[in-house]
Amino acid sequence: KAGVTQTPRYLIKTRGQQVTLSCSPISGHRSVSWYQQTPGQGLQFLFEYFSETQRNKGNFPGRFSGRQFSNSRSEMNVSTLELGDSALYLCASSTGHNQETQYFGPGTRLLVL
């Protein structure tokens, strides 16, 4: 089975722009979660989508949003980028059942200038 894929792998944007990141989960997985990883804050949960519905949300401002499509692929959008949004954004997929293992993609590294 193919693993979780994320595109693009690297991205450079400037402050005030918006960005969209994409995640394709493992075939058959219906849950996609997003995490932000920074040196200062570590790994933080952004949100989770299951069957096209946001099921859980972390403590991030409304500039961070996401969606999930009927094929379980997910996108994450960040509007009005700030320097502090520079991070590695990781996507994880699972079956969606409680306590099931989450499998992570390689991440998208976003640099905001």
- The radius of gyration of the chain's CA atoms, rounded to the nearest angstrom, is 13
State the minimum distance, in angstroms, from the CB of residue 99 to other proteins: 5
State the minimum distance, in angstroms, from the CB of residue 16 to other proteins: 28
Write the single-letter amino acid at 78: V
- Considering the complex, state which of residue 13 and residue 88 has its C-beta at the smaller distance from other proteins: 88
- Considering the complex, state which of residue 79 and residue 106 has its C-beta at the smaller distance from other proteins: 106
State the minimum distance, in angstroms, from the CB of residue 48 to other proteins: 6
Interface residues with other proteins (CB under 8 A)? 4, 6, 31, 33, 35, 42-45, 48, 55-56, 58, 90, 92, 94, 96, 98-107
The CB-side HSE value for 48 (13 A sphere, CA atoms) comes to: 16
Q: For residues 7 and 1, give the distance between their C-alpha atoms in angstroms, rounded to a whole number.
A: 18
Chain-centroid distance, C-alpha 31: 12
- Considering the complex, state which of residue 79 and residue 95 has its C-beta at the smaller distance from other proteins: 95
C-alpha distances (whole Å) from 40 to each of 52, 84, 86, 87, 99 are: 31, 10, 11, 10, 28
- Considering the complex, state which of residue 10 and residue 62 has its C-beta at the smaller distance from other proteins: 10
